[in-house]
Amino acid sequence: MDYNTMCPKYEVTIDIIGKKWTGLIIRVLLGGSRRFKDIKKQIPEMSDRMLTERMKELEAVGIVARHVYPETPVRIEYDLTEKGKSLRSVIDAIQSWSEEWVENCELQK
């Protein structure tokens, strides 16, 4: 791997998964299909608007699938596609790295 040149695919990937909240959303969905309110419950600091925006972005790039169930009231669930599930090793690696190297678990805002 040549670390002296920047791969355009790497840049796109970092742009996608490096956005604020995206990694947390993916981590939540690695646990299985979730409704919007359940994702929000696990990441309460994120606004509804931001969650909606990130979910649309992740759906657009094929990481998240949105399923609408024709019930009354309508039920909508989100889950990871195969492409999204393939990020498990990346998320696990970040988790392992943070457990070893991050001293303070409180976010710096």
60 lies in which domain range?
A: 8-100
58 domain residue, yes or no:
yes
16 domain residue, yes or no:
yes
Domain count, the chain: 1
88 domain residue, yes or no:
yes
pLDDT, one tens digit for every residue, the chain (109 residues): 777 887 889 899 999 999 999 999 999 999 999 999 999 999 999 999 999 999 999 999 999 999 999 999 999 999 999 999 999 999 999 999 998 988 876 655 4
Token pair listed for 61: 């790039």
Give the CATH number, domain containing residue 52. 1.10.10.10
Where do the H-state alpha helices sit in 18-87? 22-29, 36-42, 48-60, 82-85
57 domain residue, yes or no:
yes
Where do the H-state alpha helices sit in the chain? 8-17, 22-29, 36-42, 48-60, 82-85, 88-101
